[in-house]
Amino acid sequence: MNKAFSIRVYKQYFNFASSHFMLFKDGSREPLHGHNYRVQIKGNALELDNDMVFDFLDIKPIVRDICNSLDHKLLIPRDNSKLRIEEREKNFIFRTMDESEFSIPKTDVLILPIENTSAERIACYLAYQIKDAVKAKFNFEFKELEVEVEETPGQSAIFVLSQD
């Protein structure tokens, strides 16, 4: 008989307010807009360590800090072929295939190593950030880490990261 244990963590402060625009396959884009994102995580383990999957007191600051790093930023997908990114002295210049051009101060932008700024891709980014932080700080890996990103109430995307 297989067994597994899980923790689910969702705190009011697991949130970030960010702006973005989606880039579509045909090169068009949606208008620049923002969301008040909320995040929750679920971590699974096959065994308990000290009768816990992972200490809540240890995971909460990790997720909070990662959420805070996205707060009040324009999220830009570094790995999208439909977007051109240029650095100037204090600004990033973004050009899309529909000939839109944005000049935004670097301090207001977070360029993410993702293909697009969908809730799904943001959930994937967060999962890897959490995984790496937990591994670096505690030398621990969840058997499975699920990250849910809610764009608006009742509308969320989930990414599940499984240990190989």
CATH number at residue 57: 3.30.479.10
Structural domain contains residue 59: yes
* Residue range of the domain that includes 66: 5-74+115-162
Residue 120's SS3 state is: helix
Structural domain contains residue 95: no
Structural domain contains residue 93: no
Token readout for 139 is: 């030398």
CA–CA separation, 58 and 81 (whole Å): 38
Answer whether residue 1 shows pLDDT above 80: no
Structural domain contains residue 97: no
Structural domain contains residue 52: yes
Domain count, the chain: 1
Predicted confidence at residue 3, as pLDDT, reads 72
Beta strands 109-112 and 74-77, pairing class: parallel
Structural domain contains residue 65: yes
| Percent of the chain predicted with pLDDT > 70 | 98
Structural domain contains residue 145: yes
Predicted confidence at residue 77, as pLDDT, reads 98
| Percent of the chain predicted with pLDDT > 90 | 92
CA atoms within 13 A on the CB side of 123: 21
Predicted confidence at residue 4, as pLDDT, reads 87
List, for residues 36-59, the tens digit of each pLDDT value.
Answer: 999 999 999 998 989 999 999 999
Structural domain contains residue 68: yes
List, for residues 54-86, the tens digit of each pLDDT value.
Answer: 999 999 999 999 999 999 999 999 999 999 999
Q: Given pLDDT bands bounded at 50, 70 and 90, which one contains residue 2? A: low
